[in-house]
């Protein structure tokens, strides 16, 4: 009999909806999971959005007070899907109440806030999972296997882009994500955790960086806090306000192994809708992947004839977790499927008490690299990862 885990949702935005539906799908894709989620209560500052979680997502109750949701006697675990400026208070309160946490990156506005939340969670002994979901793609898992096995030889080159166009429109509304006080870092805090987690997942710890950043679109139409998203477009006559954090950043990374590589981050790159991509070149082969073609891994090997070149490997049942979602090659998985894997890892961690990755500690490892990049953007020199 699977254990029942009562879920409290703290923030009913797009990601809150994805978390909720992913829990509902776990029994279909992971029938062997030792726990089942029960959607108990959803909290949002907007009463309308909170109630929508009851009407559309299946929560039993709604509230505008997230502390009431956290204190609900039937809640065993919470999903922190609220804006960044609420992460610290919610994370610390959840740890104090010994409620398990499924959180969205970056877990705070700054790496310092991330570290504070992680310390509290460790002290409380709760299970955690963080939404660093791109590592769950079967192609990424397979790439890591190829690199770790030595089948491609020793890595010699690495480059990564996590670049997107979601804020490329200058009329894109000035949501909380562009406010330094509310969001903290800009693209370093948004796509940075995904990129730096994936880099270390593939190639091990990063020990130092040098980086630069830029603000490409300095002013945007103002938007009332709590309305719309960072995809919203402001009216032509809307008052403009100043953007408070960076749109673009790039860095040179040095791994503990001695390997050097590059990473580029952007939220304003026209032509790159979700180009979350990497390439690792090794002594005897290479791999490259792009989320925009999530179900394909490009693999280069040197054949017996000496021929070399990339071949497309379509993900299929022989690759990690693919068969949980699709029966054969060519039937692609999508973004929401990666969140189902994440939900399974969270529930199974609660069921058997074994912490799985990526938890808060993996988020902290990425945050430490982001902190070094942020310091380097200011100093203009190499900075150690602390």
SS (H, E, C) 216-236: CCCEEEECCCCCCCCCCECCC
Dist. CA 137–CA 122, nearest whole Å:
27
Determine contact, residues 220/241, Cβ cutoff 8 Å. yes
Model pTM above 0.85: yes
Residues contacting 358, CB < 8 A, separation 6+: 129, 130, 132, 135, 197, 201
Least Cα distance to 188 among 265, 283, 102 occurs for 265
310 phi and psi, to 5 degrees? -80, 140
What does the pLDDT profile of the chain (386 residues) look like in tens digits?
A: 899 999 999 999 999 999 999 999 999 999 999 999 999 999 999 999 999 999 999 999 999 999 999 999 999 999 999 999 999 999 999 999 999 999 999 999 999 999 999 999 999 999 999 999 999 999 999 999 999 999 999 999 999 999 999 999 999 999 999 999 999 999 999 999 999 999 999 999 999 999 999 999 999 999 776 566 667 787 777 899 999 999 999 999 999 999 999 999 999 999 999 999 999 999 999 999 999 999 999 999 886 667 788 999 999 999 999 999 999 999 999 999 999 999 999 999 999 999 999 999 999 999 999 999 999 999 999 999 99
Overall size of the chain counted in residues: 386
CATH classification number, 3-133, choose in 1.10.287.3510, 3.30.70.1890, 3.40.47.10, 3.40.50.720: 3.40.50.720
Query: Please, is 339 exposed, middle or buried when counting C-beta atoms within 10 Å of its C-beta (0-12, 13-18, 19+)?
Result: buried
pLDDT computed for residue 225 by the predictor:
62
pLDDT computed for residue 238 by the predictor:
87
Residue 28 carries which DSSP code?
H
pLDDT computed for residue 235 by the predictor:
74
Token readout for 3 is 């254990």
Cis peptide before 344 (omega within 30 of 0): no
Residue 271 carries which DSSP code?
T
pLDDT computed for residue 18 by the predictor:
98
Q: Where do the structural domains in the chain lie, given as residue ranges?
A: 3-133, 136-334+341-384
pLDDT computed for residue 316 by the predictor:
97
Determine contact, residues 20/38, Cβ cutoff 8 Å. no
pLDDT computed for residue 44 by the predictor:
98
Residues contacting 261, CB < 8 A, separation 6+: 157, 158, 159, 160, 199, 203, 252, 253, 255
Dist. CA 169–CA 283, nearest whole Å:
42
Into which CATH architecture does domain 136-334+341-384 fall? 2-Layer Sandwich (3.30)
pLDDT computed for residue 302 by the predictor:
80
Dist. CA 364–CA 200, nearest whole Å:
12
DSSP string, 66-111: HHHHHH-TT--EEEE-S-GGGHHHHHHHHHHTT-EEEE-TTSSSSH
CB neighbours (10 Å) of residue 343?
Answer: 27
């Amino acid at each position: 009999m699977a254990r029942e885990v009562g879920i409290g949702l703290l923030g009913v935005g797009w990601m809150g909806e994805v978390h909720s539906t992913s829990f509902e799908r776990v029994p279909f894709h992971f029938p062997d999971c030792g726990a089942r989620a029960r959607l108990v209560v959803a909290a949002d500052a907007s009463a309308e959005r909170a109630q929508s979680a009851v009407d559309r997502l299946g929560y039993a109750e709604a509230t505008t007070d997230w502390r009431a949701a956290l204190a609900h006697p039937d809640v065993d675990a919470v999903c922190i899907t609220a804006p960044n400026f609420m992460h610290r208070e919610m994370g610390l309160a959840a740890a104090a109440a010994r409620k398990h946490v499924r959180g969205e990156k970056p877990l705070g506005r700054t790496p310092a806030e991330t570290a504070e939340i992680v310390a509290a969670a460790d002290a409380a002994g709760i299970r955690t999972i963080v939404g660093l979901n791109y590592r769950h793609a079967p192609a990424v898992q397979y790439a890591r296997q190829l690199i770790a096995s030595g089948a491609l030889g020793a890595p010699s080159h690495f480059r990564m882009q996590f670049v997107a166009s979601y804020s490329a429109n200058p009329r894109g509304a000035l949501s909380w994500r562009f406010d330094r006080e509310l969001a903290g870092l800009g693209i370093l805090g948004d796509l940075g955790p995904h990129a730096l987690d994936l880099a270390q997942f593939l190639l091990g710890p990063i020990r130092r960086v040098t980086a630069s950043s830029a603000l490409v679109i300095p002013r945007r139409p103002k938007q009332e806090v709590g309305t719309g998203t960072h995809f919203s477009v402001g009216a032509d006559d809307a008052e403009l306000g100043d953007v408070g954090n960076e749109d673009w950043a790039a860095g040179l990374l040095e791994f503990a192994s001695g390997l050097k590589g590059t990473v580029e981050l952007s939220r304003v790159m026209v032509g790159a809708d979700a180009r979350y991509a990497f390439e690792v070149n090794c002594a005897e082969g290479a791999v490259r992947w792009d989320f925009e073609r999530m179900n394909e891994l490009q693999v280069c090997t040197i054949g017996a004839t000496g021929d070399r070149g990339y071949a497309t490997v379509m993900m299929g049942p022989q690759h990690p977790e693919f068969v949980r979602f699709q029966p054969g090659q060519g039937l692609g998985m999508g973004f929401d499927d990666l969140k189902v894997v994440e939900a399974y890892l969270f529930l199974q961690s609660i069921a058997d008490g074994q912490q799985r990755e990526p938890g808060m500690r993996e988020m902290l490892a990425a945050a430490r690299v982001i902190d070094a990049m942020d310091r380097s953007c200011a100093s203009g020199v190499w900075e150690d990862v602390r």
